[in-house]
């Protein structure tokens, strides 16, 4: 039979989970607006989508502070088990990464507005696959958060290098374009900055995935520290030589 104390702890945990998922969905929507505006340059669309990103940003900041306050309240009870402590610590770190992703959506929107002022009507072709990869990483990291799924989290970690390669490829193409057509230097620079912000979103999605693995499995996989352990726990058949 549940005691009053355990009931209170369950309520605290449910509230923390709801706060975090609400923040994650808000941030994901903000990123989608910013990326849609960047991929399809159009002055009117840019203004409409970017204004939504700017309006939501203060709300995202408030959500981060709310999660921090609630997490501290939970820690002060002194009644948490090890996994619950990991959950609270991971939630604070995830909220911080989500807030930074929200900031990056604002940065991208600022580039969109600058491009609209230059009458740019077409984005570099290389940008769409990069954005697709980052959307996939962000979506999987948030899915891992909602379902506490370390397999999804591991897939996010495996995707980070792909995004880095896209970023380098875009930079090389845009730099070559600046040399060939100096008149395009200003818009190309805006796209270079945007691609850097997009790559940073992927980095924060990776951080979120690492924090979920720490929370669920108690493994610290930052900097590749225990990736082999994680792979063996996810796919134990590898240890006895059975192919997946």
Token pair for 221: 């996989």
pLDDT by residue for the chain (244 residues), tens only, comes to 456 666 778 888 999 999 999 999 999 999 999 999 999 888 888 888 888 999 999 999 999 999 999 999 999 988 888 889 999 999 999 999 999 999 999 999 999 999 998 988 889 988 999 999 999 999 999 999 999 999 999 999 999 899 999 999 999 999 999 999 998 899 999 999 999 999 999 999 999 999 999 999 988 888 765 555 555 555 443 333 333 3
What tokens does 87 get?
A: 């959950």
Number of domains in the chain: 1
Question: Among residues 153, 157, 217, 166, which one has the least CA distance to residue 194?
Answer: 166
Name the residue among 36, 35, 32, 30 with its Cα closest to residue 53. Answer: 30
Domain containing 172 equals: 4-240
Q: Is 5 exposed, middle or buried (0-12, 13-18, 19+ CB in 10 A)?
A: exposed
Burial class (CB in 10 A: 0-12, 13-18, 19+), 39: middle
Which CATH number goes with the domain that contains 18? Answer: 1.20.58.220
CB 71 within 8 A of CB 92: yes
């Amino acid at each position: 039979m549940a005691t009053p104390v355990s009931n209170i702890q369950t309520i605290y945990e449910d509230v923390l989970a709801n706060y975090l998922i609400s923040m994650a969905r808000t941030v994901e929507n903000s990123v989608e607006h910013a990326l849609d505006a960047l991929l399809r340059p159009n002055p009117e669309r840019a203004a409409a989508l970017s204004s939504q990103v700017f309006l939501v940003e203060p709300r995202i900041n408030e959500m981060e502070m709310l999660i921090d306050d609630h997490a501290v309240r939970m820690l002060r009870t002194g009644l948490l088990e090890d996994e619950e402590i990991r959950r609270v610590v991971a939630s604070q770190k995830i909220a911080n990464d989500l807030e930074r992703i929200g900031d990056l959506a604002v940065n991208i929107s600022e580039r969109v507005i600058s491009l609209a002022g230059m009458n740019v009507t077409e984005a570099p072709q290389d940008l769409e696959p990069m954005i697709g990869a980052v959307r996939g990483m962000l979506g999987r990291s948030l899915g891992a958060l909602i379902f506490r799924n370390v397999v999804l989290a591991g897939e996010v970690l495996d995707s980070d290098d792909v995004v880095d390669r896209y970023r380098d490829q875009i930079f090389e193409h845009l730099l070559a374009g600046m040399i060939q057509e100096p008149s395009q230097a200003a818009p190309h620079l805006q796209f270079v900055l945007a691609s850097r912000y997009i790559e940073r979103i992927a980095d924060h999605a990776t951080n979120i995935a690492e924090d979920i693995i720490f929370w669920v499995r108690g493994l610290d996989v930052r900097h590749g520290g225990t990736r082999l352990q994680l792979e063996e726990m996810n796919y134990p058949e590898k240890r006895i030589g059975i192919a997946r």
